[in-house]
Amino acid sequence: LLATLLALPATAALAAPLTLGFSQVGAESEWRTANSASIKAAAKEAGITLKFADAQQKQENQVKALRSYIAQKVDVIAFSPVVESGWDTVLKEAKAAGIPVILTDRAVKVADPTLYVTFIGSDFVEEGRKAGRWLLERAAKTPNAALNIVELQGTVGSAPAIDRKKGFEEVIKTNPKLQIIRSQSGEFTRAKGKEVMESFLKQRDKKIDVLYAHNDDMAIGAIQAIEEAGLKPGVDIVIISIDGVRGAFEAMKAGKLNVTVECNPLLGPQLMQLAKDVVAKKPVEKRITVNEGVYPAEVAAKELPNRKY
Ligand code: AHR
């Protein structure tokens, strides 16, 4: 061993594995579980030492995790910010310590964009538009009917909740028959999605025709509420959601969900490459997006075996 080490150039012999501190949003959804698994597996595969912290959907926990990574002098920090705002101070601390920051999955709103190096993740506004376009096409087949929509929003203040609402509204406003009659946060979880849908169903002033859920987990929770109210999900109430997790494909196969817009959580391998590039000071794009599709119920049975999350 000593002979091998002596034969190596000094830098290679001494090079320690790169350390990445990652602060995850939480474990609120099937999507998030797949995202965490992808990051952990990719770090192992890339030989990167990963320090991983679950923030349980609380910004204060993420700030604590980021500060602890700064104190530990990790080589690079990555995080998926639970909400968009309130990051300037801690990101300035990382910059002052000379630790580069990569955003994954969700964006931040900061005054100085040099506080992070790059952002890899989906285009949430476009996902909202795709959901809206699917509904516009469906509405065009029944031109006279007014469609009352209820919306289950994601975590308040989070990029996907803000952007998916924006993109969807931008598209549906072109047809005045499509109206959002109620909109509330279901915090991206099944339990809260069910609870909020129950309360929507109890308000009997207007008939609900469509549910737009900002993620599949809330839609799956809502499906349970709809069934318990004696209605047929996917038939009496058309259901549109986002993510494309296995649970959504199973619900579509059972005829209970009408369409899911894909949001790819398998960002681990790209993130590890970015971490290496950023530490090596190679130039990287400021914004890296992910290609994603739309899957209506008609293709669910065929697609289900191909799903990777
Ligand atoms: O930020 C991505 C979103 O967060 C996913 O759509 C949702 O399921 C998750 O909790």
Give me the chain's average pLDDT, please: 95
* pLDDT at residue 14, rounded to an integer: 54
This prediction has a pTM of 0.94
Is any atom of ligand 1 closer than 6 Å to the C-beta of 189?
Answer: no
Instruction: Give the pLDDT confidence of 22-58 residue by residue, as tens digits.
Output: 999 999 999 999 999 999 999 999 999 999 999 999 9
CA of 29 to the centre of ligand 1 (A): 7
Which atom of ligand 1 is found nearest the CA of 26?
10
**Residue owning tokens 């008609």:** 298
* Angle (nearest 5°) at CA 138 between 130 and 156: 45
Is any atom of ligand 1 closer than 6 Å to the C-beta of 209?
Answer: no
CA of 200 to the centre of ligand 1 (A): 22
DSSP letters along 72-84, please? TT-SEEEE--SSS
Which atom of ligand 1 is found nearest the CA of 159?
1
* pLDDT at residue 7, rounded to an integer: 54
CA of 187 to the centre of ligand 1 (A): 10
* pLDDT at residue 260, rounded to an integer: 98
Question: 83 pLDDT exceeds 80?
Answer: yes
pLDDT band at 4 (very low <50, low <70, confident <90, very high): low
Is any atom of ligand 1 closer than 6 Å to the C-beta of 61?
Answer: no
Is any atom of ligand 1 closer than 6 Å to the C-beta of 188?
Answer: yes
Substitution candidate for ligand 1 out of 28, 79, 188 with most atoms within 8 A of CB:
188
Is any atom of ligand 1 closer than 6 Å to the C-beta of 106?
Answer: yes
What is the rounded CA–CA span in Å between residue 94 and residue 97?
5
* pLDDT at residue 16, rounded to an integer: 81
- What is the share, in percent, of the chain residues with pLDDT greater than 70? 95
Instruction: Give the pLDDT confidence of 239-251 residue by residue, as tens digits.
Output: 999 999 999 999 9
Tell how strand 238-243 and strand 210-213 pair up.
Answer: parallel
Is any atom of ligand 1 closer than 6 Å to the C-beta of 28?
Answer: yes
Is any atom of ligand 1 closer than 6 Å to the C-beta of 31?
Answer: yes
Instruction: Give the pLDDT confidence of 86-139 residue by residue, as tens digits.
Output: 999 999 999 999 999 999 999 999 999 999 999 999 999 999 999 999 999 999
Cα torsion at 195, 163, 64, 88 (round to 10°)? -150
Which atom of ligand 1 is found nearest the CA of 106?
1
Is any atom of ligand 1 closer than 6 Å to the C-beta of 124?
Answer: no
* pLDDT at residue 264, rounded to an integer: 96
Which atom of ligand 1 is found nearest the CA of 216?
8
pLDDT band at 1 (very low <50, low <70, confident <90, very high): very low
Question: 305 pLDDT exceeds 50?
Answer: yes
Alpha helices in the chain (DSSP H): 2-7, 10-14, 30-46, 59-71, 88-96, 124-141, 159-172, 190-202, 216-228, 246-253, 268-279, 300-303
Instruction: Give the pLDDT confidence of 137-189 residue by residue, as tens digits.
Output: 999 988 777 899 999 999 999 999 999 999 999 999 999 999 999 999 999 99
Instruction: Give the pLDDT confidence of 188-223 residue by residue, as tens digits.
Output: 999 999 999 999 999 988 999 999 999 999 999 999
* pLDDT at residue 13, rounded to an integer: 47
Is any atom of ligand 1 closer than 6 Å to the C-beta of 24?
Answer: no
* pLDDT at residue 219, rounded to an integer: 98
What is the rounded CA–CA span in Å between residue 268 and residue 46?
10
